[in-house]
């Protein structure tokens, strides 16, 4: 651990020697015999903590404190005085002093105060570095896309970041809804406060009310202590409600009231607690259709749909695939220390032609896997998933197919053909299972089972209105 850089200013030699003796280990100590010299050193040096006497010739300690805090606010300042008085202490703390020492003081006491001040500075720097890292990881500049649809999305995101309105982010699984939510938060007015995310579909129905709103001790079996809900945890910041379409109807009623009243009531309590939270929500469900079917409350939909942003599936912005592939290649290549630097033309063409039902997430996983199995300087067709089409547009037969039995090879081909057929069928009928089943000549339930088998959902193929509401 690096030594603490300490500057001590006092016009008494005995005080300076006391500090030099007491702070001999773990500190890089510099001394100044008056305020003017101390100020010049503080402004031109790189100190963690400045300890200064209040009464000094030329420049007193309070003036030194103000000048340092104006020019170098990250430096912690501790003042010393032989004339202990409440007014002096209060004034020093108001001006930004970390603490003050009353002469005569115990060297151990001074050591403890200086160490605490240095730790405070270190923690503040860590927080600033973390905020900078979050900006790099989740800010707008980390989002990739040059297609017209994504340029519209980026513009909506910038407008959303500069507003306080509730945002509803819509899109298929894997399109990056949480990444968009985090970018809006990190670029927005609440970026210095917490971003709290919750997947509404991943919490059991009997626990989600307590998770969102909190509970009072003894309000139900297992409530062994008071608990703050996620609304309170996100106070002053952003609460991201992912998969909000999965909320049970009774919870939708309570959430609607919270959004209206801007207050939560913990389970088991009578009073409401005000909350200052910005809401960002996301869903891969067509909420308008869910409202028609009675699965989602209309009043909640309109409270969430104030600022809608629709994320297009990857198949609707194929021109972004090379950019995304290059981003993932660079990112995962650096992590894996891989020598791979690019793609063969055939592999890149295959990436462009594939429909990517899992969207950006599936592309990222495919690139990460390809890096792990590639030996040469470029990713070729052999490193891509088997469902990637060959140059002619047909699915490839794996080079390992010869190790399969005839029936296994046939089943593999059937699975690929079935997946392609179902995708084309559902796109033609825009996710309408009833009409698609009629065209396929099978029962509606049978089509549902097939879709589930191949990891597809009807919502993936339904058209969504991309125009922002006014």
Q: How many CB atoms lie within 10 A of CB 433?
A: 18
Alpha helices by DSSP H, 337-377: 345-353, 359-373
Q: Which domains does the chain have, with CATH numbers?
A: 4-133 (3.40.50.2300), 139-312 (3.40.50.300), 317-383 (1.10.8.60), 405-461 (1.10.10)
Whether pLDDT at 403 is above 60: no
In this prediction, residue 392 carries a pLDDT of 44
What share of the chain in percent tops pLDDT 90? 41
Residue 159 has pLDDT above 80, yes or no: yes
Instruction: Decide: pTM greater than 0.95.
Output: no
pLDDT at residue number 128: 61
Q: What pLDDT score does 224 carry?
A: 86
Distance of alpha carbon 349 from alpha carbon 353, whole angstroms: 6
Helix, strand and coil content of the chain, in percent to the nearest 5, comes to 50, 15, 35
Of 68, 33, 34, 62, which Cα lies nearest the Cα of 48?
Answer: 68
Do residues 173 and 359 make contact, with C-beta atoms less than 8 angstroms apart?
yes
Q: pLDDT per residue over 408-445, tens digit each?
A: 566 666 666 777 778 888 888 888 888 988 888 888 88
Segments of 114-181 assigned E as strands: 167-170
Lowest mean pLDDT among 3-12, 250-259, 370-379, 454-463: 454-463
Q: What's residue 210's pLDDT?
A: 92
CA distances (Å), 75 to each of 1, 52, 372, 383, in order?
19, 13, 47, 53
Q: What is the pLDDT of residues 250-279, one digit of tens each?
A: 999 999 999 999 999 999 999 999 999 999
Residues 6+ apart with CB under 8 A from 95: 62, 65, 66, 69
CB 218 within 8 A of CB 175: no
Q: What is the pLDDT of residue 43?
A: 87
At residue 113, the 3 state secondary structure works out as: helix
pLDDT in tens, 115-146: 999 988 887 776 665 555 444 444 566 677 88
Question: What average pLDDT does this structure show over 152-163?
Answer: 93
Joined together, the tokens standing for residue 103 give 């002469």
Angle between the 444-453 and 433-440 helix axes, to the nearest 10 degrees? Answer: 100
* Cβ-contact 304, 181 below 8 angstroms: no
């Amino acid at each position: 651990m690096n030594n603490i850089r300490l500057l001590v200013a006092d016009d008494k030699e005995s005080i300076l020697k006391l500090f030099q003796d007491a702070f001999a280990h773990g500190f890089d100590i510099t001394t100044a015999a008056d305020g003017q010299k101390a100020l010049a050193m503080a402004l031109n040096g790189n100190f963690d903590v400045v300890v200064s006497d209040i009464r000094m010739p030329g420049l007193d300690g309070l003036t030194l404190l103000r000048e340092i805090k104006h020019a170098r606010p990250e430096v912690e300042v501790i003042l010393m005085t032989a004339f202990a008085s409440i007014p002096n202490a209060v004034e020093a703390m108001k001006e930004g002093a970390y603490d003050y020492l009353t002469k005569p003081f115990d060297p151990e006491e001074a050591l403890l105060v200086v160490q605490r001040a240095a730790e405070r500075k270190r923690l503040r720097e860590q927080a600033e570095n973390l905020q900078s890292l979050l900006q790099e990881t989740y800010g707008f500049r980390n989002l990739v896309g040059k297609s017209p649809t994504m340029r519209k999305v980026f513009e909506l995101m910038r407008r959303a970041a500069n507003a306080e309105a509730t945002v509803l982010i819509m899109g298929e699984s894997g399109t990056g809804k949480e990444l968009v939510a985090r970018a809006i938060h990190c670029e927005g007015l609440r970026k210095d406060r917490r971003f709290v995310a919750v997947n509404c579909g991943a919490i059991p129905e009997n626990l989600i009310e307590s998770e969102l709103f909190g509970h009072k001790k003894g309000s139900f079996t297992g409530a062994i202590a008071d608990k703050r809900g996620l609304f309170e945890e996100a106070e002053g910041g952003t609460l991201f409600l992912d998969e909000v379409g999965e909320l049970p109807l009774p919870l939708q009623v309570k959430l609607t009231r919270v959004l209206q009243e801007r207050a939560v009531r913990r389970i088991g309590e009578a009073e409401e607690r005000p909350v200052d939270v910005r809401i960002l929500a996301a869903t891969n469900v067509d909420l308008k259709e869910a409202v028609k079917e009675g699965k989602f409350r209309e009043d909640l939909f309109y409270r969430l749909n104030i600022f809608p942003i629709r994320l297009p599936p990857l198949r609707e912005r194929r021109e972004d695939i090379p950019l995304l592939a290059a981003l993932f290649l660079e990112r995962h290549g650096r992590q894996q220390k891989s020598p791979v630097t690019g793609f063969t033309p055939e592999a890149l063409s295959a990436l462009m032609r594939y429909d990517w039902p899992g969207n950006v997430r599936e592309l990222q996983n495919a690139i990460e896997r390809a890096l792990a199995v590639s030996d040469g300087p470029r990713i070729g067709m052999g490193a891509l998933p088997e469902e990637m089409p060959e140059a002619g547009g047909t699915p490839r037969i794996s080079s390992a197919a010869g190790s399969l039995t005839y029936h296994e090879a046939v089943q593999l081909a059937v699975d690929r053909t079935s997946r392609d057929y179902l995708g084309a069928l559902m796109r033609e009928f825009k996710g309408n299972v009833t009409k698609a089943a009629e065209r396929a000549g099978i029962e509606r339930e049978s089509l549902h089972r097939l879709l589930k088998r191949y990891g597809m959902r009807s919502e993936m193929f339904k058209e969504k209105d991309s125009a922002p509401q006014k």
